[in-house]
A and B are shown apart, each in its own frame.
Chain A
């Protein structure tokens, strides 16, 4: 018998070893089409790294702009006493608007003393809400004002901003902040800054008198409500930042619930595997709930993060599964999904052997995520309605992978619940874009609707027949509460 068996080996080996057969011409066409597709995918992938880099750069740039815009605003609206060592004009306004020296009146008092060691600081914040004295030495009390913006409407005096600077020859400059800055605060109630928080000139000061006083020689020390904030030699950046912006950043808390229509993008070397999974899997309505915490950095820009729970359900049509050796060495049926694969054995019937098949009935696959988004957002306000589009990245942690498979034969029916999927990554990254549409109820509360789109940029699978990139479009509703 042994000889017989080896004869069979030799018979087949010698006859079929050099066997040739021409494949059908259609195969060459299919191969060419597949090569074309492969080239197209390579071309797309070549730019994928650029797209991801661009996204990252965009986020970094957005952060940088936010940071910088904050600094610029702070400087432009500062109450500053500036003493510069250079000979250049440091006034932020035009020299044409020089102060008229001929005005009379002296209802306010000011005392400037450039010999005061505190004036070694380049910029000194002045808060009229706090009393203080600034004195000028006799050698430098020429009172040469580089610029001055008088307030057109006396009633607005409280809301105007002035910069007081000192030129190299110890002249003092007072400049008013632009009107635009005040206008910036006039968006919807929700985003409006609290005007009481702004440092303002004491209303008891008569600006024209102050001008006259400063442009003429100051003969005697007089009092003015000027900040007595701590002035230290060296940098005074800290004190500047405290008062230099009319907008005060605030926090926002936004709980929400969202209805999501999920899906995925499949990549594989085997188009048939992709088609097979697409045919038998269908995403069912899913949902997400979350709590988002936002920081309104400026009138327009904000950053948002938080925590989101997402539940995705995928329905599966019946499929034929085959028995393989599982990682534990046992033989079990392999059930393949877009998110990974699982091994299972029905409670009835004999133990499977490698290659055995079993047709399952319908199945349900559930994925649960905890996600942490980080978004840069831009607010457009129109009266009580504001639209805040934003984009960013989202870190997703897969917390639960559940597969319920219905198995039945003419005599038995069983639901196998699989809680462990192989080939699924515990973490993936997504790109997220949303537009938060808010309706302001009052200064503290707004209701919102938020359409949101998510697209994974890293696959959730590894060592599976397909690489799966989940995506979803959701419509959420929630409340936004303004915090301090």
Chain B
């Protein structure tokens, strides 16, 4: 933990609004990136970010310095997103994806020249359940058992959701690649 972070933590524990602003300015862009992956839209991501920062400022006195401070904040953001997923009515119904025939797709190089913004948009188009499972597995490194516990679903459902999410993204990537190719 850097000295700057230590100073920020101390100021925030004291409830100093200036330190809170500095901490927000330091971490908000990165955490916005995290929240955008869990949200369906920018507005929803900002709501998660707001709830996350409120929790950060409320519980910052419990941070004991074990592990990175950024990792601690990130975990709070992820939990805020999961809390929203579990309790809020912002979920969209899971559509039944027709993933049949995906195995027949050629082993094409899918790492085309899509930029981060486009990839983010693809993640956001995933149905809520798939998006959460994909994020937890790929970005947070959760195991299927842990995802099941976090979301209240079975391990098998988690695996199935991840597989469907990957297939969905793969299909969208190929479509995009073809569009780029035609252009």
Contacts and interface: CB of A to CB of B under 8 A. Distances in A.
A233 B96 CA distance: 94
B88 A273 contact: yes
A60 interface: no
A269 interface: yes
Most buried by B among A9, A15, A23: A23
Given A9-B166, A16-B123, A23-B46, A465 B138 contact: no
27 contacts: A5-B166, A5-B170, A9-B166, A11-B111, A11-B119, A12-B134, A12-B139, A16-B116, A18-B33, A21-B29, A21-B33, A22-B29, A23-B32, A23-B49, A24-B46, A27-B46, A30-B50, A31-B54, A273-B87, A322-B89, A336-B87, A354-B151, A355-B92, A355-B94, A355-B128, A355-B129, A357-B92
B102 A1 contact: yes
A9 B135 CA distance: 10
Contact of B57 (A16, A23, A35, A269): A35
B153 interface: yes
Interface string A322-366: 101100000000001000000000000000011111000000000
A13 interface: yes
Interface in B135-183: 137-139, 151-153, 157, 163, 166-167, 169-170, 173
B24 A20 contact: no
Contacts of B157: 354
B138 A28 contact: no
A355 B20 contact: no
Interface residues of B, number: 59
A273 to B, nearest CB: 7
Nearest to B119: A15
Contacts of B37: 16, 19
A57 interface: no
Chain B facing A: main interface SS: helix
Contact of A355 (B47, B54, B58, B91): B91
A22 B32 CA distance: 7
B94 A272 contact: no
B105 interface: yes
Given A1-B105, A8-B170, A18-B33, 19 more contacts: A1-B103, A4-B170, A5-B167, A12-B134, A15-B114, A20-B29, A23-B32, A24-B46, A27-B49, A31-B50, A31-B53, A34-B54, A269-B54, A270-B87, A272-B88, A319-B89, A320-B89, A356-B93, A465-B87
A28 B152 CA distance: 33
A7 interface: yes
Contacts of A15: 114-116, 119
A20 B127 CA distance: 23
A12 B58 contact: no
A163 to B, nearest CB: 65
A354 B153 contact: yes
Contacts of A276: 89
Given A16-B123, A22-B28, A8 B173 contact: yes
A171 B166 CA distance: 108
B107 interface: yes
Interface string A450-467: 000000000000000100
A183 interface: no
A13 B157 CA distance: 22
B110 interface: yes
B152 A325 contact: yes
A355 to B, nearest CB: 4
B105 A4 contact: yes
Most buried by B among A4, A321, A325: A4
Interface of B: 15, 17, 20-21, 24, 28-30, 32-33, 36-37, 45-47, 49-51, 53-54, 57-58, 86-89, 91-94, 102-103, 105, 107, 110-111, 114-116, 119-120, 123, 127-129, 134, 137-139, 151-153, 157, 163, 166-167, 169-170, 173
A174 to B, nearest CB: 72
Nearest to A32: B17
Given A11-B119, A16-B123, A353 B30 contact: no
A465 B51 CA distance: 14
A39 B127 CA distance: 37
A272 B127 CA distance: 22
B139 A34 contact: no
Most buried by B among A20, A28, A30, A319: A20
- Please give me the 4 A-B residue pairs with the lowest Cβ-Cβ distance, nearest first: A355-B94, A19-B33, A355-B129, A20-B29
B93 A20 contact: no
Nearest to A1: B103
Most buried by A among B94, B105, B115, B151: B94
Contacts of A31: 24, 50, 53-54
Contacts of B103: 1
Nearest to A326: B152
A24 to B, nearest CB: 7
Contact of A4 (B92, B107, B114): B107
Given A16-B123, A35-B17, A322-B91, A8 B50 contact: no
A356 B94 contact: yes
A238 to B, nearest CB: 60
A207 to B, nearest CB: 77
A242 B154 CA distance: 74
A272 to B, nearest CB: 7
Contacts of B17: 32, 35
Interface in A37-54: 38-39
A484 interface: no
A129 B128 CA distance: 89
Interface in A225-282: 269-270, 272-273, 276
Contacts of B169: 8, 12
